[in-house]
Amino acid sequence: MMEALGLGDTEFRQISSLVYSTFGINLTEQKRVLVAGRLTKRVRQLGLASFGDYVKVMMEDSSGKELSEMINRITTNHSFFFRENDHFEFLQQTVLPEIQSKISRDRTYPFRMWSAGCAAGEEVYTLAIVLREYFGDALEGIDLGILASDISLTVLNAAEKGIYPANRLQEVPPKLLSTYFRQIDSENFEIAERLRKRVMFKKLNLIAPSFPFKGKFDFVFCRNVMIYFDEPTRKQLVETLFRYVKPGGYLFIGHSESLRRETCPFRYIKPAIYQKDIADA
């Protein structure tokens, strides 16, 4: 096992400041060992002797590629299908019937959803499966837009390929596994192409003050993303997301996360589920 390089106070502050100002991720002192461990291999790959040299290289890289490489390494992108399954049950029981009612009144209704911080795609493909199971063949006639975004091009590229090891599929019911996945070797499965082609993947930085969206979303999944943010950054992100959710639409966050009810613009529904009031047009 490779021994981690020493990460001094100055270099850790420089890295932390850069990560915070660029991505909104708050690297506290408790993360120093993790950062050193995850970046040591990269420092050595570049033929550098220290984190001081690495910081200099990163600062001088006008392309931003090394900054992206760094954030890929220090953030955790592990997920699995049907994670926090009660959210998908709430979709089936509450949200999708509401949307179906809107579509029945207006066949041109634009149904839009967003997986913000989608990692390698397990969440957004779970959503695609839930939608297909709920609407059946009628889904083909719906004006549907599924957006999945992340700051990491590495995980977005993996998500577009849609290939997953079996241990990420353990929560997928057998019937759905046989319907929507194809086993490609002894360890890996591929998501069905008809689901892959439904999703648009896009690199987005969630701390941007605005996003290039023409319309608003019926619901947004932004789960286990804000655990990396401090309170001011969480507040800013939630206010930005609020602007892009339709009145009556929903925000789903991770169960390990919470929003301050006294400042949150969304109305609390149940743990990790919030709604934008109809009146907030």
Catalytic residue numbers, as ranges: 38, 150
Q: Which residues of 186-196 are buried (b: 16+ CB within 10 A; e: fewer)?
A: eeebbbbeebb
Alpha carbon 212 to its chain centroid, in Å, reads 17
Q: Can you spell out the DSSP letters for 25-71?
A: ----GGGHHHHHHHHHHHHHHTT-SSHHHHHHHHHH-TT-HHHHHHH
Q: Is residue 255 exposed (0-12), middle (13-18) or buried (19+ Cβ within 10 Å)?
A: middle
Torsion sign (Cα): 123, 127, 133, 137: negative
Torsion sign (Cα): 59, 65, 66, 71: positive
Helix H or strand E encompassing 76: none
The CA distance from 97 to 114, in Å, is: 18
The CA distance from 123 to 114, in Å, is: 10
DSSP-H helix ranges across the chain: 9-23, 32-45, 51-60, 65-74, 86-90, 96-105, 122-135, 153-161, 174-180, 193-196, 231-243
Q: What are phi and psi of 247, to 5 degrees?
A: -55, 130
